[in-house]
Amino acid sequence: MPHDPRRPIARHGRLPRRRAWTTAATVVAAALAVVLVSGTSVAGIAAVQLATAPHTVQLSTDDQNTAKVADITAIKGGANILLVGSDTRIGQFDSDENVEGARNDVTILVHVSQDHQQLTAVSFPRDLKVPIPACTNPQTGTTYPAANKELLNEALGHGGLSCVVDTVENLTGLTVPYAGLITFDGVIEMSNALGGVDVCVAKTIHDSYTGLQLTAGDHTLEGQDALAFLRSRHGVGDGSDLARISSQQVFLSALLRKVASDGTLSNPVTLYKLAGAALSNMTLSDGLAQTRTLVGLASTLRGMSTSNMLFVQYPVVDDPTDTSHVLVAQEPAHALNVALQQDVKTSLTDSSTGRASTLSPDAQASAPAQAPASGTGGGTGTGTGGGTDTGAGTSGTGEATAGSTPSPSATPLPSSITGQSASEQTCSRGN
């Protein structure tokens, strides 16, 4: 369709993409909804769901071998799980759709610390240019040569879930033995199972693309409304994919607070519906598709404080040659990579909440005074697995400083890394 000259071309993925069904919430919420319930619930539900699963997905030989012998509760350096959302409605490789056209529009790395005291979920922008290794598409047999600078969301079409895992491993220097694909239906089912998720809106959201219309204030979202909120990028912040990531973190944090509440954890019917909605909408790697693995994962996170569950955006800078794409911000990316590699307990004390979110008035009133994020954190540092590009500053600093109270032993991440803890009361901002 030709471009309408009356509508300016936006930055960082604002242009509409076909079938952009899946959102970060579908991915992270599904996994965390499962692992936050009791081990008994997961064991029973996993046994049923995995027995009826159509198939699993194989990763590379090294990752398969690691998952085969590893106990997810005792992996040295912590456990890493990659969660991917495909832009196909089915999201699996047995569909009649064009698999080579599928994209990983959502890519989130979940790191669970070895002491089971912290979870860090890292969102990678879909329009981030990164090296992609040589991969073979598992359905078509087509082999794609290694690419030095390719959009991250092309990896799934190149070689399926395994190729996305290999790309993220190359970028971060981590070993990722577990992975899962998920479809967009999960967010609808999970929000319905919870009776809705309460979100705060700081400024009216009007998005004609998704049909989302929300006034400033508090809203309980479920079903299609929840999905529209999570898909919206034209209606939040500056209308970019980076803004959508921070807005999604508002929803994810609210969802996790509700999942972790006594009212949910003490209700077996809700737990069954919630975990069932997650598992029934996921295709898991061979290592993750084991009852013992899912139960072990649940046990590692049972009782973890939401203040120790961090959502962060992988640090990026604008691509000077193409403003619709972004590059790795070397110095903060290196700091984040090393913290994950060394399993360091971290905090977002001096970080901003992102382009499309801000601390709620109640949270701001109770939060300690802190200096605003500087918004600069680039430079010429070279990080392990951090990419090949150098940038002058990070994209998308937010308006509010995150107000979590980290452990005294936690190492603050660079202020240029945006994000929040699940315990923080934040609001999504319209544009």
In a domain, 161, yes or no: yes
pLDDT tier for residue 130 given thresholds of 50, 70 and 90: very high
Residue 106 token pair: 């959502």
- Does the predicted model carry a pTM greater than 0.85? no
**CA 12 to each of CA 119, 317, 393: distance values in angstroms, whole numbers, following the listed order:** 27, 10, 15
- Report d(CA 326, CA 320) in Å as an integer: 9
- Pairing between β-strand 135-136 and β-strand 143-144 as defined by DSSP bridges: antiparallel
Q: Which domain holds residue 72?
A: 24-197+237-345
Least confident of 54-63, 82-91, 136-145, 347-356: 82-91
Q: Which amino acid is at 323?
A: T
- DSSP structure class, residue 430: B
Top pLDDT among 23 and 59 is at: 59
In a domain, 397, yes or no: no
Cβ atoms of residues 333 and 315 within 8 Å: yes
Q: Is the pLDDT score of 319 beyond 90? A: yes
Please give the pLDDT value at position 337: 98
pLDDT tier for residue 392 given thresholds of 50, 70 and 90: very low
191: helix, strand or coil: helix
Please give the pLDDT value at position 381: 34
Cβ atoms of residues 300 and 37 within 8 Å: no
Of 297, 231, 252, nearest to 85 by C-alpha is 231
Please give the pLDDT value at position 244: 87
Q: Report the 10 Å Cβ neighbour count for 4.
A: 8
pLDDT, mean of residues 339-365 = 87
In a domain, 391, yes or no: no
In a domain, 361, yes or no: no
In a domain, 331, yes or no: yes
Burial 319-344 (b: 16+ CB within 10 A, else e): beeeebbbbbbbbbbbbbbbbbbebe
Q: What is the pLDDT of residues 98-121, one digit of tens each?
A: 444 578 878 899 999 999 999 999
Residue 89 token pair: 């409605």
> How many residues can be counted in the chain?
431
Q: Give whichever of 2-16, 173-187, 372-386 has the largest mean pLDDT.
A: 173-187
Please give the pLDDT value at position 384: 39
Cβ atoms of residues 347 and 410 within 8 Å: yes
- Report d(CA 267, CA 284) in Å as an integer: 27
Q: Is the pLDDT score of 310 beyond 70? A: yes
Strand partners, 106: 85
In a domain, 299, yes or no: yes
The CATH number linked to 137 is 3.40.630.190
In a domain, 1, yes or no: no
Q: Is the pLDDT score of 400 beyond 80? A: no
Question: Residue for token digits 């392990």?
Answer: 384
Top pLDDT among 187 and 288 is at: 288
Q: Is the pLDDT score of 369 beyond 60? A: no
Top pLDDT among 46 and 127 is at: 127
Cβ atoms of residues 249 and 354 within 8 Å: yes
Domain count for the chain, please give it.
1
Q: Is the pLDDT score of 222 beyond 80? A: yes
In a domain, 153, yes or no: yes
Question: Residue for token digits 């699940």?
Answer: 422
Please give the pLDDT value at position 281: 73
- Report d(CA 163, CA 284) in Å as an integer: 14
pLDDT, mean of residues 272-283 = 75
